[in-house]
Amino acid sequence: DNGKKLRVLVVEDDDNLAQMLATLLESRGIETVIAKTGKEAIRQSQEINPDLMILDLILPECTGFDVVEWLQQHNRLCNIPLLVYSACDLNDTERTKLKLGHTEFLTKGRTTTQEFEQKVMELITRITQNRQSGNQE
C-alpha cells in the first residue's frame, strides 16, 4: 500500500459512537480523525485529504448535506469515497445530493456493528485496490 496509511475522517457528534468507530478503524491500522461538527469536517477534510469519509448528517453548525455540497465544489475532495451513516431515512433526491466519490448509505439503528465494519472494510479494500492500480492523483 505504498507505505501510506489509509486515512479516514469520521464526522460524528456522538462521542461514544465516534470513539467506537475510531477504535474499530485503528484496530485495522487505519489512521482516524474525528470531526464533531460540519464546519470541523470541512476544515479537517482540507487539512488531511482523507481516503474515506464517514459522515453523519445531523451535525452541529451545518449538516452533512452542507459538508457534501462544499466538498463537491473542490477538485481534490469531490471524489472522496463517502459512507453516510445516519439515523435519517433518505429519499432518492437526498441520496443524489449526497454523492461524492463512491457513496454508500447505512442507517443507524438498522445496521449492526458487524455490518458497519464489513461495509467500511469493503470500501477500504476498494480504495486500496484503486491505489494499487494507480488511480490516484
> Which domains are delineated in the chain?
7-131 (3.40.50.2300)
Report how far residue 47's alpha carbon sits from residue 9's, in angstroms, rounded to the nearest whole number.
11
Mean pLDDT by 10 residues, the chain (137 residues): 77 94 91 96 95 94 95 91 92 94 91 89 87 61
Cell of 135: 488511480
Rounded CA-CA distance 103/52 in Å is 10
- The model's pTM is 0.90
Which pLDDT does position 22 carry in this prediction?
94
